[in-house]
Structure 1
């Protein structure tokens, strides 16, 4: 597959009162269309910083990022973002939270009926047709996060960016949403870049796992292909040697090759 998202020698330096802080250096990564990439590493290694660069929320200090042949110069509807916090507007219904983005992207060229159809279709995709008119405070945390995913998918982004979207959820809800995400990505053939701290989540979802070195001046340490066929079933994978080999490789990188200083002190 040809590269769809290209990050070339990207670096990020922040100005602080104590001087320059180098967050990322020499990031080189090519992502194919339809590929699912996860970014993993210890806290402070710049995972979210890299995701923000791809989203266009910040500009790189050095290097360049290209999506679908165009340089990323700022936020745009070609990149949808799902945050760890669902970030729903509490005064709008689930439907209206999704419809707001749809209207902004498609409102100038599509009818009101078509905009509502897009919104309903996105909510149906995440299994929330029954909750369209509920307010955010009336639904569970997992349902709020599904609304956030629907909001991102509704604008038909070329790349779906996810910043630990299930990190604040309980284990059972997180597992259910991971399974639903696998189904959604299979149906939409989305290109996904996702930040996670969860090794099992990374192996379950990814085509490749990008492992970052410790910060400051973090960079890509290793990239691990995940040779597990799709569709994937978490129960079947429990006894799959390839699954365990991938999990062991990520664990080895994080806890032996990149053991965090705090972890070493506690050991």
Structure 2
């Protein structure tokens, strides 16, 4: 595997009133270009902390993180984050919310007309061209999440980081957006790291599932290769023995960790 993102001996400690809290320790992971990685584990295992280290929103207290052989030092347009909360500006239209990100990255490099083309293309990619003039308060929760994804994709990031982007949605909307995400990733060739608590989501979407041990001082406990062929169809997978075997592997890991309360945060 050709390494694109490298996480080497990464650790993260926070200084609190009660002393030092070590969230992560000795995290080592190589990610290939175009790979879809799912991070899974119990609450408090440092999944979001690890994602924030890759995003540059936190600086590792130990180790180093490299993207294309360059050390990650702070946020950058080559990495875009989609949070569970869509974080749209309520006074801006769908188009304007996406355009704001496009202008931040490409403003001054391209004429305004081209920035509008980029914005429209991103909305079309997530199936929201018809809602371009609507305010966030006028669209559904699932559509808001698609705007957040469009905003991230419009920046043309090298790495797309997703922190439980579908966690607050109902089951049908979540399934629809999972299917849409698979199509978008196939079309863009994006490298994706996604935090999830959903075992089925992890198996359906990812190329590898990174399973985290319980915190504090969490680390990678195991990595599971998801060698299911693409494109993936959730209805066919429901009857696929290999899918169920992979799902069972993840559930067994999580169950075994749940039985170790001394590791819990």
Q: How far has the Cα of 1:69 moved from its partner?
A: 1.7
> What pairs with 1:100-249 in structure 2 (closer than 5 Å)?
100-249=100-249
TM-score (norm 1): 0.97
- Where does the alignment leave 5 or more consecutive residues of structure 1 unmatched? none
Q: 2 CA distance for matches of 1:26 and 1:176?
A: 36
Is 1:3–2:19 an aligned residue pair?
no
Superposition RMSD in Å: 1.2
State whether residues 210 and 224 of structure 2, in contact with CA within 8 Å, keep that contact through their aligned partners in structure 1.
Answer: yes
- Structure-2 separation of matches of 1:184 and 1:231: 12
Question: Retained in 2: the 8 A contact 1:213–1:258?
Answer: no
- Preserved CA contact (<8 Å) 1:83 1:165: yes
> In structure 1, the residue corresponding to 2:89 is in which secondary structure?
coil
1:65 and 1:218 map into 2 onto residues whose CA distance is 17
| 2:214 and 2:257 in contact (8 A); partners too | no
Aligned to 1:28: 28
CA–CA distance in structure 2, aligned partners of residues 104 and 248 of structure 1 = 44
In the TM superposition, what are the counterparts of 1:31-50 in structure 2 within 5 Å? 31-50=31-50
Aligned residue pair count: 263
State the Cα distance separating 1:68 from its structure 2 match.
1.4
Note closer, same or farther for the CA distance 1:222–1:258 as it changes in structure 2 (3 Å cut): farther
1:261 offset after TM fit, Å? Answer: 2.9
Q: Is the 8 A contact 1:94 1:147 kept in 2?
A: yes
In structure 2, the gaps of 5 or more residues are: none
User: Does the Cα contact within 8 Å between 1:13 and 1:23 map onto a contact in 2?
Assistant: yes
